[in-house]
Amino acid sequence: MSAPSRPAGRAAPTRRRALGPDVARGLMLWVIAVANITVWIWSPGPVGGPRARPLGEGATSSAWTADDAVNLGMSMLVDGRGFPLFSFLVGYGVGQIAARETARGAAPAVVRALLLRRYGWLLPIGAVHACLLFPGDIITAYALGGLALALLVADSTRLLLGLAGVGTVLMALYGAAAGVIENPPAAFPSLLAPSAGQWLADGLLEGVVVVGFAPFQLLGLFPMMLLGLALSRRRVLEDPAAHRRALAAGAAAGIAAGLVTGAGTGLLTTGMLDPATGIRAVLTGADAVAGAAQGIGYALVVALVCDRALRRGAAPRAGGARAAGAQAREELAPAAVRAREHPLLWALQALGRRSMSGYLAQSVLYTLLLPPFALGLGRSLDPVVALSAGTAVWLLTLLGAVLLERRGLPGPAEALHRRLHLGQRIGS
């Protein structure tokens, strides 16, 4: 596809891509990596949560072990934090796409059709992932959420926030119900299969069940998607400096609430807190909501940090029309260019721009490393080693994204998805 002609000597302005959302996606893929490895190793299923992890010695004695510390830290910082953040960013991305296409002159029906194609094609990708790689797939639920948002994208912000409030109540009830199930069965026996044939047979069945369960899984994610769509209209992540005080306050409140409730569920994990069933339900229900707020708090902190880093990297210019023009062009330049002055942010952005490929790559690596029919490393991992192994897998995906970024290549999953829903290759 050829570019439209323009007057000679005049460069086309480049739309600036916000750095914060991509960096947040890249960082939260670590959260997902260390959270999902517990599913691969101990197969607690979709409702087991952190209480399905093996307990340290502190569960039966007054000793406090490294395993207990890891379990507590996971509950306070990781469990139920990564997927809500991604859900928020899915909703925010829907808003960005709608705003971009509307600015280009697209009618609401055209915008809606584009979004329906985009998230409709995510459904088969998620289904294949659930059936052939990891039954704990989340892509299918995101696809359903994106389809629902496509139908709501033109509705008022007040309606979106109202629906998010109702959804938050349902999310709390879902978390409370999960909290009373202390010893759930192993819902994913494929991850414990002794042979590749058994793994494939069990995985196909589990994948079908997981895809069917996705609408219920969406109950805990859709409120964050709605909130992301609503906030995208205020451009809070593209221009965090204009909302700095509100973002800082929101981040502090969300993270603080999540740390408090996460400490409570962490004590459940280590066995040092064993309240009555009703209190347990209240605690896990509150953590479902506060944990989601903490995940969004992470995104707001990342946006503020990225904005500050980029502003520090922008050197002051001398006055004059020529300098003003250079400054204007710099403001239009993609954030990725200036992020090269900050290698860690640049690397995280590279992975965030390829977040679906990074997520799927985790499943591939875990399939090769952990199950009994493969290398079988998962059976010998305690919580401390599992945390290290999950981090190592995430670092491998980070390295892969950096190599692709250096070569100017998209992630393979993103290239396939674009080909499917747009009918064109990257760069065409």
pLDDT digits (tens, 9 = 90+) for 92-142: 999 999 999 999 998 999 999 999 999 999 999 999 999 999 998 999 999
Q: Which residue type is seen at 348?
A: L
Nearest residue to 144 via CA among 79, 74, 210, 75: 210
Phi and psi at 221, nearest 5°, equal -120, -30
In this structure, the chain runs to a length of: 428
> Tokens standing for 219?
């109950």
pLDDT digits (tens, 9 = 90+) for 360-419: 999 999 999 988 888 888 777 777 888 899 999 999 999 999 999 999 999 999 999 999
Give CA separation, 169 vs 189, 220, 279, in Å: 32, 10, 17
- Are 70 and 385 in contact by the 8 Å Cβ rule? The answer is no
Is this prediction's pTM over 0.85?
Answer: no
Residue 250 CB contacts under 8 Å (≥ 6 apart), including other chains? 296, 297, 300
The alpha-helical segments, DSSP class H, found in 104-156 are 108-120, 122-132, 139-152
Nearest residue to 90 via CA among 142, 30, 29: 142
Residue 349 CB contacts under 8 Å (≥ 6 apart), including other chains? 19, 22, 23, 26, 335, 336, 339
- CA 85, chain centre distance (Å): 5
DSSP 59: G
Phi and psi at 183, nearest 5°, equal -130, 75
> Tokens standing for 353?
């721009």
Task: Give the Cα separation of 100 and 420 in Å (integer).
Answer: 20
- pLDDT tens for the chain, 428 residues long, are 333 333 333 333 334 567 888 999 999 999 999 988 888 876 544 433 333 444 333 334 455 677 778 888 888 998 888 889 999 999 999 999 999 999 999 899 999 999 999 999 999 999 999 999 999 899 999 999 999 999 999 888 999 999 999 999 988 988 888 777 655 555 688 888 888 899 999 999 999 998 998 888 888 899 999 999 999 999 888 888 888 999 999 999 999 999 999 998 888 776 677 777 788 888 989 999 999 999 999 999 999 998 888 776 554 444 544 444 444 434 434 455 455 678 889 999 999 999 999 999 999 999 999 888 888 887 777 778 888 999 999 999 999 999 999 999 999 999 999 999 887 544 43
